Amino acid sequence: MIFDYNPIPSRSVFGKNSALKLKEEIISLGGKRVMIACSKGMTKRITAIIQSLDDLLVTIYDGAKPHCPEEVAMAALDLYKKKKADCIVAIGGGSTIGIGKAIALRTNAKFIVIVTSPCGSESTPIHGMLIGKEKKTGRDKRVIAKTSIYDPILTTSMSAHHTATIGMNSLAHCIEALYAKVKNPISDQFAISGIKALITGIPESIKNPNNLNARSNVLYGGMLSGYCVTLAGIAIHHKLCHVLGGHHGIEHGSSNSVILPYAVAYNERAAPEAMEIIKKTMGTTSASGGIYDFARKIGVPKSLMELGMCEGDLDRAAQEILKKTFNNPKKLVEKSVRELLQQAFEGKRPVPF
């Protein structure tokens, strides 16, 4: 057995009320002047956290928006510098974490995340922002949070829609890690554990939003999904979702929910060992079919048509995806990618390629 493994350079604090340990974590990193980044809606939910920081908090930036537009990230960076902050605390999901990453990449900021959705972004070296109509991404270990705090209490107000769609994003990270070209036995174990936690926790969290055990499972699966990205990277699925978000304005969680079964079907014959693991872990007879059935179970959007995409834009999307660099087991061919998108547009049960 031969493989490379680089441990995740991040501290994780997991559990009920763990968000109230934020001040302790800031001090341990040497932070003295803190800026919080979040969305406007989030500020009402974090009053106790804000009050716990006392005079360490110098400002709050509450302008986070989906896909982390360049103008939003740069406005946050300007405020961070103006206030002479030395620590950025992102409280929220992927869009807010994107602000923290933009600041960490361009400064010596101590970067902490309080995770309120299971996106996994906090522990990945992938950073990105929406520049014009294109989602630009890169990789740099400096954007991995120094400390990530996972408090299931902060996730109980997530809607059923966001619980399901963001959960599908995390599930996709775990699934893709099983057939990525640079995967290893450690990432495989993270992926398997992540899948189990997510398919158990998501339905129960939707059924009973205040079930902290279920919410903890979803958060745990999201955390592991981030580790999967760090160790194994992303393939056709997430690159397609970036194209659909940047050029076609589709919400990231929703695009993940629709695309995942079809991306798996695209790779089904090219990665048989990974597909066997997926089937065994999910308890299904078909990898792509099992994911499709799970997506129907939790009520996520089922087609690109439902998400408002025009069929006439599918050709362009297929061409755009071929410009990307891939860590995919099957070579990308425009005709096959176009067929993948057609299946996703119609929302029919996936047919392996």
d(CA 225, CA 219) in angstroms, rounded, equals: 10
Instruction: Specify the pLDDT at position 282.
Output: 98
Is there a contact between 159 and 116 (Cβ–Cβ < 8 Å)? no
Instruction: Specify the pLDDT at position 5.
Output: 65
Instruction: Specify the pLDDT at position 291.
Output: 98
d(CA 225, CA 218) in angstroms, rounded, equals: 10
Residue 242 has pLDDT above 80, yes or no: yes
Pairing of strands 87-92, 147-150: unpaired
Least confident of 8-12, 33-37, 89-93, 226-230: 8-12
Mean pLDDT of 51-73: 95
Least confident of 117-131, 156-170, 190-204, 279-293: 117-131
The fraction of the chain above a pLDDT of 90, given in percent, is 82
Mean pLDDT of 191-209: 98
pTM of the predicted model as reported, rounded to 2 decimal places: 0.92
**Got the DSSP string for 29-41?**
TT--SEEEE--GG
Is there a contact between 95 and 119 (Cβ–Cβ < 8 Å)? no
Reference 52, options 34, 37, 69; nearest CA is 34
| Domain locations along the chain | 11-155, 160-346
Reference 126, options 165, 55, 176; nearest CA is 176
Q: What is the CATH number of domain 11-155?
A: 3.40.50.1970
Tokens 């070579």: give the residue.
331
Please, which pLDDT band fits residue 55 given cuts at 50, 70 and 90?
A: very high
Reference 174, options 225, 234, 219; nearest CA is 225
Residue 343 has pLDDT above 90, yes or no: yes
Which amino acid is located at 263 in the chain? A
Instruction: Specify the pLDDT at position 7.
Output: 72
CATH 1.20.1090.10 fits 160-346, yes or no: yes
Mean pLDDT of 133-148: 90
Quote the mean pLDDT of the chain: 94
d(CA 10, CA 120) in angstroms, rounded, equals: 13
Please, which pLDDT band fits residue 264 given cuts at 50, 70 and 90?
A: very high
Is there a contact between 65 and 249 (Cβ–Cβ < 8 Å)? no
Mean pLDDT of 101-119: 96
Is there a contact between 168 and 295 (Cβ–Cβ < 8 Å)? yes
Strands (E), the chain: 11-14, 34-37, 57-61, 87-92, 110-115, 126-131, 134-139, 147-150
Instruction: Specify the pLDDT at position 238.
Output: 87
* Strand arrangement, sheet containing 147-150: 11-14, 147-150, 110-115, 87-92, 34-37, 57-61
Least confident of 229-233, 296-300, 340-344: 229-233
Please, which pLDDT band fits residue 82 given cuts at 50, 70 and 90?
A: very high
Mean pLDDT of 278-300: 98
With b for 16 or more beta-carbon neighbours within 10 A and e for fewer, the 14-25 pattern comes to: eeeebbebbbeb
Tokens 């994003």: give the residue.
169
Instruction: Specify the pLDDT at position 248.
Output: 78
Please, which pLDDT band fits residue 325 given cuts at 50, 70 and 90?
A: low
Residue 108 has pLDDT above 80, yes or no: yes
